[in-house]
Structure 1
Amino acid sequence: MKAYIFPGQGAQFPGMGADLYEKSEEAKELFEKANEILGFSITDVMFNGSAEDLKQTKVTQPAVFLHSVILSKTLGDSFKPDMVAGHSLGEFSALVANGTLNFEDGLKLVSKRALAMQKACELQPSTMAAVLGLEDAVVEKVCKETEGIVVAANYNCPGQLVISGEVEAVNKACEALKEAGARRALVLPVGGAFHSPLMEPAREELAAAIAETTFHKPGCPIYQNVTTTAVTDPEEIKKNLMAQLTAPVKWTQSIQQMITDGASLFTEAGPGKVLQGLVKKIDRSAEVASAAI
């Protein structure tokens, strides 16, 4: 069975999407439509901007979403997923790819998500840290015992977990995790504590926008970050998407479940190859590929 997977924030790179724009008339139309919807020329930033320009929150998330969605749309008849999943932001790309959301609604939600997360980040100093070389249970225990708000946020692959929370709590947890035997516990250069309780104001804002958006019956199941199981009911998809901003990204568990359910090839649609690397770390025998027109 063919599984398509969609990357999240951090996969962006200068010049992303320019080749799609030049090669495909359909891609060109969708990029121009995106400029119209967003009210600024995101194509200018994607094709000609620097890495620094692409780091702006209002740009990063829509840029990664657009690259993923437009790439999958230009694959034509060869794009026939049996199942989809997306890492954090990538879940929105996956929902357009399997027909749950239309292109316009998906982009509007991603833009709202980016701005709501930016606002939440400004309310309280917060951060994330990558923890390498420890069992998930050890990381969870240290977070629980650390004073302040700090939680396990991204289960990327065995031995690679990201924690998220208040700056002081994350720093304290990093020290405790090193003492517990972590190979590395490294604070990341991110704007805030994504997938933690500190994103509650953003979750509320995004949930209101999701509630007003039409979700269609998908063409194939999506394995959502929150539940890790195959979901096809539009109302359930909505509920899980609303919970996503304050809940952990269970990527390891989602990929394991997809393999159990018959996934034989994981094709990454979007910028970079990060997810292919994670899939191989989760299951060395899994076959991975990059989508390309």
Structure 2
Amino acid sequence: MNAYIFPGQGAQFSGMGLDLYENSPLAQSLFEKANTILGFHITDIMFEGTPEALKETKVTQPAIFLHSVILAKTLGDSFKPDMVAGHSLGEFSALVAAGALTFEDGLKLVSQRAIAMQKACEIQPSTMAAVLGLEDAVVEKVCESIDGVVVAANYNCPGQLVISGEIDAINKACEALKEAGARRALVLPVGGAFHSPMMEPAREELAAAIENTTFSKPNCPIYQNVTASATTDESEIKANLISQLTAPVRWTQSVQQMINDGATLFTEVGPGKVLQGLVKKINRASETASATLETNN
């Protein structure tokens, strides 16, 4: 069975999407439509912008979404997913690719999500840290012992977990995790504590936008970050998307569940190969691939 997976923030690079724009009339029209919807030329930043310009949350999230979704749309008839999943932001790409959201609505929601998250980051300084070489349960236990807000945020693969919270609490947690035997506990260069209670203001803002957006039944099951299980129910998809901002990304569990449900090939749609690497660490036997442009579209 074919599983298609969609990357999240961090996969951006200067020049992303340019090959699509230059080689596919469909891609070109969708990129131009995106410029109109967003009210600025995101294509200029994607194709020629500096890494710094691309790192701005209000740019990064729509840029990765556009690269992934437009690539999926250029695959034409060869895009036949039996199941889909996306890492954090990638969940929106997955939903558009699977027909649960229109391109326009998906882009509007991603843009609103990015702006809401940026605002939440500015309310209170916060950050995230990568923890390597410890079991999930040990990381969770250490986080619970720290004063202040610090929680498990991204279950990326066995032995790689990202924690999220207040800066002081994250720093204390990193020291405690090293003492507990972590190979590394490294504060990440991010603007805020994504997938933690610190994102509550953004969750409230995005909830209203999601509730006012029409969702359709997807063409195949989507494995959502919050539950790590398959669903095609529109109301369930909405509720999980709203919860996603303050809840952890259960990527390890999602991939394991997809494999249990018959996934044999994982194709990453979008910039980079990060998710393929994680899939291999979760299950070495799984086959992985990158989606490539079909130039006849």
Q: Which residue of 2 aligns with 1:193?
A: 193
Instruction: Give the whole-Å Cα distance in 1 for the aligned partners of 2:67 and 2:257.
Output: 26
Q: Which residue of 1 aligns with 2:68?
A: 68
Instruction: Give the whole-Å Cα distance in 2 for the aligned partners of 1:53 and 1:237.
Output: 32
Please say if 1:33 is aligned against 2:19: no
Instruction: Give the whole-Å Cα distance in 2 for the aligned partners of 1:42 and 1:234.
Output: 30
Instruction: Give the whole-Å Cα distance in 1 for the aligned partners of 2:93 and 2:218.
Output: 13
List per-residue Cα deviations over 1:199-251 (Å, max 9, x = no partner).
00000000000000000011000000000000100000000000000000000
Instruction: Give the whole-Å Cα distance in 1 for the aligned partners of 2:135 and 2:233.
Output: 33
Amino acid at match of 2:112: K
Instruction: Give the whole-Å Cα distance in 2 for the aligned partners of 1:175 and 1:58.
Output: 32
RMSD: 0.3
Query: TM-score, normalization: structure 2?
Result: 0.98
Instruction: Give the whole-Å Cα distance in 2 for the aligned partners of 1:58 and 1:153.
Output: 21
Q: Which residue of 2 aligns with 1:58?
A: 58
Amino acid at match of 2:242: M
Q: Give the match's secondary structure for 2:266.
A: strand
Amino acid at match of 1:224: Q
Amino acid at match of 2:83: M
Amino acid at match of 1:221: P
Instruction: Give the whole-Å Cα distance in 2 for the aligned partners of 1:56 and 1:159.
Output: 29
Q: Which residue of 2 aligns with 1:149?
A: 149
Instruction: Give the whole-Å Cα distance in 1 for the aligned partners of 2:34 and 2:206.
Output: 19
Amino acid at match of 2:170: V
Q: Which residue of 1 aligns with 2:14?
A: 14
User: 1:67-86 residue pairs with structure 2 within 5 A?
Assistant: 67-86=67-86
Cα displacement (A) at 1:113: 0.2
Amino acid at match of 1:151: V
Uncovered stretches (5+) of structure 1, i.e. residues with no partner: none
Instruction: Give the whole-Å Cα distance in 2 for the aligned partners of 1:264 and 1:203.
Output: 34
List per-residue Cα deviations over 1:50-83 (Å, max 9, x = no partner).
1111011110000000000000000010000000
Q: Which residue of 1 aligns with 2:223?
A: 223
Q: Which stretches of structure 1, 4 residues or more, deviate above 4 A after TM superposition?
A: none
Instruction: Give the whole-Å Cα distance in 1 for the aligned partners of 2:70 and 2:218.
Output: 18
Q: Which residue of 2 aligns with 1:252?
A: 252
Instruction: Give the whole-Å Cα distance in 1 for the aligned partners of 2:76 and 2:155.
Output: 32
Instruction: Give the whole-Å Cα distance in 1 for the aligned partners of 2:218 and 2:76.
Output: 18
Uncovered stretches (5+) of structure 2, i.e. residues with no partner: none
How many residues are matched?
293
Query: TM-score, normalization: structure 1?
Result: 1.00
Q: Which residue of 2 aligns with 1:95?
A: 95
List per-residue Cα deviations over 1:169-218 (Å, max 9, x = no partner).
00000000000000000000000000000000000000000000000011
Q: Give the match's secondary structure for 2:226.
A: coil
Instruction: Give the whole-Å Cα distance in 1 for the aligned partners of 2:83 and 2:200.
Output: 29
Instruction: Give the whole-Å Cα distance in 1 for the aligned partners of 2:56 and 2:124.
Output: 18
Q: Which residue of 1 aligns with 2:262?
A: 262
Instruction: Give the whole-Å Cα distance in 1 for the aligned partners of 2:89 and 2:76.
Output: 23
Please say if 1:233 is aligned against 2:233: yes
Instruction: Give the whole-Å Cα distance in 1 for the aligned partners of 2:25 and 2:195.
Output: 37
